[in-house]
Amino acid sequence: MKKFFLFLLLLLLVASMIFPVKTVGIKFDGKECYYPLSSTQTLDVDYTHSVSLTKVVDVYRITDQGIYAIQEKWQEFLAGQPTDVQYRSGDFYVKDMNMYLGRSWEYWFIPLNKATLRINGRTVFIQPPEEGILRINVGRTPLILMLIRRC
């Protein structure tokens, strides 16, 4: 009887580890980590713009439905930067929005960009000194994988 209960406990443990949980996946150059998605999260991507060499901050709302662009902040009006300013806040020009982007979003970064990602103010990714594609994905991941590769 004791072996049966141990077997059931082990079976329950294994089943819970392969159970998929909601996550935000962050992948850069083949390396991937996961952050638990328990409710609506705010994701900030800040980086140095490669032409103006000034700071840019893109703000997203992440839900289990996907990724929403909610704000852009930038400091200059050079190539590749928005021109449709809604207001100014400190050193930044700001544009608010509520645009659904889908379940994944990508950036291409070069070393000069020095990108940093924050979820609810917590740093979860700092770009290594190499170029690559940064992919942000909303989905489900086995609990064990999220625990092993947590951001």
pLDDT tens string 15-24: 556 788 999 9
Give how far the C-alpha of residue 87 lies from the chain's centroid of Cα atoms, to the nearest Å: 26
Please indicate whether residue 64 or residue 77 has the higher confidence score (pLDDT).
Answer: 64
- In our burial notation (b when 16+ CB lie closer than 10 A, e otherwise), range 38-70 reads eeebebbbbbbbeebeebbbbbbbbeeebbbbb
Answer whether 118's CB lies under 8 Å from 47's CB. no
User: Residue 8: pLDDT above 50?
Assistant: no
Average pLDDT, the chain: 88
Does 76 have pLDDT greater than 70?
yes
pLDDT above 60 for 88? yes
* pLDDT higher than 70, residue 4: no
* Alpha helices per DSSP H over 1-142: 2-18
pLDDT(11) > 60 = no
User: pLDDT band for position 115 (50/70/90)?
Assistant: very high
Tell me: pLDDT of 39 over 50.
yes
pLDDT of residue 32: 92
pLDDT score of 9: 47
Q: What's the whole-number mean pLDDT along residues 16-42?
A: 88
